[in-house]
Amino acid sequence: AASAAPDDVGVRKELSKCEQKATRDRSVERRLAKRMLGTSDQSKPSPDKKPSRAKMFVWGSFLLSLLVVK
């Protein structure tokens, strides 16, 4: 039990570090969403849906990377 204790502390530290990173990522995500919504409101997208598709791709890859991190 004594030999396992230091490892346990390390694991706990890693976990808290990951949790902090996750919450930071979430706040960044919220800020990005606000900014993207703001810009999309100002400049109306052109009739062809290419910009929105690109945006969807960016969001998809971004969310995927978040899932991979967790």
Q: How many Å separate Cα 39 from the centre of its chain? A: 20
Strand positions, DSSP E, 18-62? none
Enclosing domain of residue 29: 4-69
Indicate the number of domains in the chain: 1
Output the pTM of the full model.
0.33
Question: Within 13 Å, how many C-alpha atoms sit on residue 53's CB side?
Answer: 5
Q: What is the predicted pLDDT for the residue at 4?
A: 53
Q: What is the predicted pLDDT for the residue at 5?
A: 61
Tokens matching residue 44: 């109306």
Can you tell me the mean pLDDT for 9-28? 84
